[in-house]
Amino acid sequence: MFALVLLSALGGVGFPELLVILLVGVLLLLPGVFYLLALQRTLEKCASGSRTLSPGLVWLMLIPLFNLVWHFIVVTSISKSLHNELTHRSVASAEPEPGRGIGLAMCILEAAGLIPLIGVFCGLAGFVCWIMYWVKVLGYSRLLDQPVG
């Protein structure tokens, strides 16, 4: 049913064009899915008492527009959860709030990406910060893989 509504809305778009649109959509969504998996797995490595967000809630990021606000909450919660877990494990961290700075910069730049004219530049900078934040979270995730002792 949804496919019929989509086809009628697209008008003269044929099957090959629709297939290309769907393929491009999936390819653009795939990195986001791996990003959310990384966030979820990092939260799962934190003891339940250290977590400030349930790991499964990161998937709410897939809701368009809502994710602009939710991303701020996810970044802040992951930062607090990592701080709590590292403190619990007596592991020193270079950051008092792990990943919070680059994560909030990413969120702000992504939101500013909606502003006409400067949005393109903010979006590109937000993309760079997104990659940097993802790498930072993966680093903390690897740190949490080390045995507690």
Per-residue model confidence (pLDDT) at position 1: 47
Which positions ≥6 away from 81 have C-beta within 8 Å?
A: 43, 46, 50, 51, 52, 53
Look at residue 109 and tell me whether its pLDDT is greater than 50.
yes
The verdict on residue 17 lying in a domain is no
Per-residue model confidence (pLDDT) at position 142: 96
Q: Which string of DSSP letters, residue by residue, matches 92-142? A: --S-SSTTHHHHHHHHHHHHHTTSTTTHHHHHHHHHHHHHHHHHHHHHHHH
The residue written with tokens 């592991």 in the block is 91
Q: What are phi and psi of 25, to 5 degrees?
A: -60, -45
Range in 23-37, 38-52, 95-109 with the lowest mean pLDDT: 23-37
Q: For residue range 16-26, list pLDDT tens digits in order.
A: 777 878 887 78
Q: Could you count the other beta carbons within 10 Å of the beta carbon of residue 56?
A: 10
- Global pTM? 0.84
Per-residue model confidence (pLDDT) at position 4: 44
The verdict on residue 12 lying in a domain is no
Q: For residue range 116-141, list pLDDT tens digits in order.
A: 999 999 999 999 999 999 999 999 99
| 120-140 residues labelled b (16+ CB within 10 A) or e (exposed) | eebbebbeebbeebbebbeeb
The verdict on residue 23 lying in a domain is no
The verdict on residue 21 lying in a domain is no
Per-residue model confidence (pLDDT) at position 82: 97
One-letter amino acid at 46 equals C
Domain total in the chain: 1
Range in 19-28, 66-75, 86-95, 102-111 with the lowest mean pLDDT: 19-28
The boundaries of the domain holding residue 137 are 34-145
Between 11 and 39, the more confident residue is 39
Between 90 and 72, the more confident residue is 72
Measured distance CA(82)–CA(93) in Å, rounded = 10
